[in-house]
A and B are shown apart, each in its own frame.
Chain A
Amino acid sequence: MNFNRRRHESVDSPSLSSLIDVVFLLLAYFVLTAAFALPERALTPAISVDGQGADASAEVEPQIVRVRNQRGQVVYQLGAQTHMTLESLRSSLRKLPQDPGLVIKAEAGTPFGAGAGAIQAGRDVGFQDITWSADGDES
């Protein structure tokens, strides 16, 4: 009888326990990091200060979107038009030429999110040149 052969086979077979450990650890790692890494994106406007960043030699006037607080509600004013929603603002922006660019001027008392919405509306309709203009008044 040859008992040696069977004994050698059992000794030489690799242990899978460490492999399984590692596979489960990697699985746990990717599950955890996927849950933590919430997506974050960015809007990239140029910045300027009222009365200081304007290019006097520019031949075309940039179009200005004013973000205002009107009786407790945020509105977007584009020339003589007042828009209550971003969708309405987008519709008007689509009709404008894009070469002059777009300037966003948010007034005191409006939340940052409303200004970001105006930038997004400009980007959505294809404006490449968008500037966030800060109020030059220090007070």
Chain B
Amino acid sequence: MRLGRGHPARRTPDLTPMVDVIFLLIVFFLAAARLEQDRREPVDLPQQAGEMEQKRREGLVLTLLADGTLRIAGVSRDIEALPALLAEASRDGMPSVTLRANREVDVVVIHRVIRLLARSGVPGVEMAVAPGGAS
């Protein structure tokens, strides 16, 4: 009798849960990266077609809310602090500046921002617009 020579018991581990977990992690990191990229404050932008796709995650993004509050990276800032922020951000060259302003905000506020930007050497700004309305 050769009892030990039959088919050996299959000891290969089941990889299904591991594959599941790996793909879940991939999807999680993809989604997290994408959400980070799209973490823009909701602003009722001017409804215009625009001239170019907006660059993302580049340069300084200034958000002006309807009440004239300036927010940078989710933090409320004093408009008069812009030159200092620009000086800090421009150590490696002048950053591109994107202005995401509520369409109803008075241009007096826009002018305050533009004055400070122009005097800090910023040649132009990207003014965000929404082809389809609010974003």
Interface residues of chain A, those whose CB is within 8 Å of chain B, are 4, 11, 15, 17-18, 21-22, 25-26, 29, 32-33, 36-49, 52-53, 67, 106-113, 115-117, 119-120, 123-124, 132, 134-136, 138
Contacts and interface: CB of A to CB of B under 8 A. Distances in A.
Nearest to B114: A134
A38 B57 CA distance: 15
B106 A108 contact: yes
A10 to B, nearest CB: 12
A132 B131 CA distance: 20
B118 A47 contact: yes
A47 B97 CA distance: 11
A119 B106 contact: no
Contacts of B19: 18, 22
Given A36-B35, A47-B122, A18 B110 contact: no
Contact of B102 (A25, A109, A112, A115): A112
A33 B123 CA distance: 34
A111 B129 contact: no
A66 B123 CA distance: 21
A36 B107 contact: no
Contacts of B129: 40-43, 116, 120
